[in-house]
Amino acid sequence: MDTVIVGASEVAHLSKSNENNGRIDGELMLNRDAHVTEDLAMHIKDGMIVKFSTNEEMKLEWGLPSGSNDNLNYIDVEGAAIIPGFVDAHTHLLWDGDRSNEMAMKLSGMSYRQISEQGLGIASTVSATQKASLNRLIEIGKSRLKRAHNLGTTTLEAKSGYGLDLETELRLLQASSSLENNGVSLHHTWLGAHAYPEQVDKNNWNRHLIDEQIPAIIDQGIASYVDVFCEPGWFSIETTDEICRASMQHGLDIRLHVDEFTDGGGLTLASELGAKTADHAGFSSDDARAKASNADVNTGFLPGTPYVHGDSFTTDLTRCIEEGWKWSLASDFNPNCRSLSIPFVGSLAVHRMRIPPIAALIAVTANAASTVNGKEGVGKLIEGGVADLNILRTNSADGWCLMPGDNPVKMTIHHSQL
């Protein structure tokens, strides 16, 4: 099927990169003119962008608007801006239960760590999730994916991690894989090492993860990535290293949770392991940030999490740009941070962390895409790439992150729908 889209006031194509795999880092993140074009119409065939031209040329070629017919999907966006679909490269998509009760504890001054030491936090989500059937998890996932899609997300990484036993971890991944074809491309991650079950011997549990869970996860064949919550008090550097190396031997790529509450050396380990991405990283040292970038390891910042903790944002994104470090942004959707809204993440980055909208857009599209093994052109709008895009409610491409609490996306298109 042919689709022709005309009438955009601006198209943020992000086609210029200064890194391998399409990344845009350093000064180039700030060069809006390099990334946004005013007069750009596109022809899409079977979900792939085949051609850009000016609006006038495109209309002439297709005899539009009068020549429009049933075989052509003709879309005039009437002055709206178009941007790539968002790539949310860090979510805990699937879990059951509700942790609203933790808000009162947070307000009384308890930290995330203290709440978890009371047997709540991850542990309470685990008990609810272990009771959830496969069908229930699929239904929960479908409704969340629909919300994410409506908010502009067209690629999403989904972690397991609320099973804490093999059977539930396999069920979570099974549910995750059943969610394909819902207008969002999915990437599945095994996060077996998310927390230790209560009263378990840690060494025994580490052996269980390596000797029993990894082979079963590989046998199941759904996860492409491994993740570990590498943080003092959760999984140590040594154990994280061991779990990741065992997973790598089976072909899994590495994503990590590191240095969320303290600098535990997680980002440095991620560099040594050649991780695709190391996320949170709010307390990583500058040395570790530089080392990660030199090792081609992305750092994924997740500002929604300090936001819901009432904490300040420890990361200086302007500095990250000035230093040319490799970084991205994601939602960290989870029972503690229940927002699937990438536009909200963009608002935090722009209104609170004070970077320009174009830099924040790159961080949730092209740069996030470099951490997942997706199709050609994901996170960009380029000829020969997939047509994953958002038509905004605003005339400026910058509007994508300037409507906090509202949805700036009028229409999301995933290539599978064309």
| Three-state SS annotation for 353-409 | CCCCHHHHHHHCCHHHHCCCCCCCCCCCCCCCCECCEEEECCCCHHHHHCCCCCCCE
Say which entry of ligand NIG, Fe ion, none residue 255 contacts (CB below 5 to 8 A, set by partner kind): none
178: left (phi over 0), alpha (psi -120 to 50) or beta: alpha
Nearer to ligand NIG, 84 or 161 (CB): 161
* Shorter beta-carbon distance to ligand NIG: residue 52 or 162: 162
Q: Residue 60 Cβ, how far from ligand NIG at the closest point, in Å?
A: 51
Residue in the shown chain whose Cβ atom is closest to ligand NIG: 336
The letter for the amino acid at 253 is D
Q: Residue 206 and residue 187: Cα distance in Å, rounded?
A: 25
Comparing CB distances to Fe ion, the nearer of 3 and 336 is 336
Name the residue nearer to Fe ion (CB basis): 372 or 386: 372
Please, which residue, 242 or 332, has the CB nearer to ligand NIG?
332
Whether 122 contacts 168, CB under 8 Å? no
Nearer to ligand NIG, 148 or 392 (CB): 148
Give the shortest CB-304-to-ligand NIG separation in angstroms.
Answer: 9
Would you say 418 and 1 are in contact if contact means Cβ atoms under 8 Å apart?
A: yes
Cβ neighbourhood burial of 148 (10 Å; 0-12, 13-18, 19+): buried
| Closer Cβ to ligand NIG, 205 or 400, answer by number | 205
Chain centroid to Cα 397, Å, comes to: 20
Q: How far is the CB of 115 from ligand NIG (least distance, A)?
A: 9
Shortest CB 335 distance to ligand NIG, Å: 5
Question: Phi and psi (nearest 5°) for 161?
Answer: 120, -10
Smallest Cα–Cα separation from 92: which of 405, 302, 369? Answer: 302
Contact 156, 375 (CB under 8 A): no
Q: What is the Rg, in whole angstroms, of the alpha carbon atoms belonging to the chain?
A: 21
Question: Which lies closer to ligand NIG via its Cβ, residue 193 or residue 418?
Answer: 193
User: Closest CB to ligand NIG among 35 and 280?
Assistant: 280
Residues 6+ apart with CB under 8 A from 293: 25, 299, 323, 324, 325, 326
121 touches, from Fe ion, ligand NIG, none (C-beta below 5 to 8 Å by class)? ligand NIG
Residue 345 beta carbon to ligand NIG: minimum distance, rounded to whole angstroms: 13
Min dist CB 257 to Fe ion, Å, is: 5
Question: Shortest Cβ distance from residue 332 to Fe ion (Å)?
Answer: 4
CA distance 161 to 96: 12
What are the CA-CA distances from residue 87 to residues 128, 257, 271 (Å)?
A: 28, 18, 22
Query: How many CB atoms sit inside 10 A of residue 64's CB?
Result: 17
Residue closest to Fe ion when measured from CB atoms: 332
Sign of the Cα pseudo-torsion (305, 311, 314, 316, in order): positive
- Residues near ligand NIG (CB under 6 A): 92, 121-122, 125, 229, 257, 260, 305, 332, 334-336
The option from ligand NIG, Fe ion, none interacting with 13 (CB < 5 to 8 A, set by class) reads none
Residue 334 CB, shortest distance to ligand NIG, in Å, is 4
Q: Residue 269: which of Fe ion, ligand NIG, none does it interact with, CB under 5 to 8 A by kind?
A: none
- Terminal-residue alpha carbon distance, the chain: 7
Q: Which is nearer to ligand NIG, 22 or 282 (CB)?
A: 282
Gap between the Cα atoms of 114 and 111, Å rounded: 5
Q: Residues interacting with Fe ion, by CB under 5 A? A: 332
Least CB distance from residue 189 to ligand NIG, whole Å?
12
Q: How far is the CB of 412 from ligand NIG (least distance, A)?
A: 25
Amino acid at 241: D
Question: Element (H or E) spanning 343, and its range?
Answer: helix 342-347
Structure tokens at 272: 């040594």
Indicate the residue type of 180. Answer: E
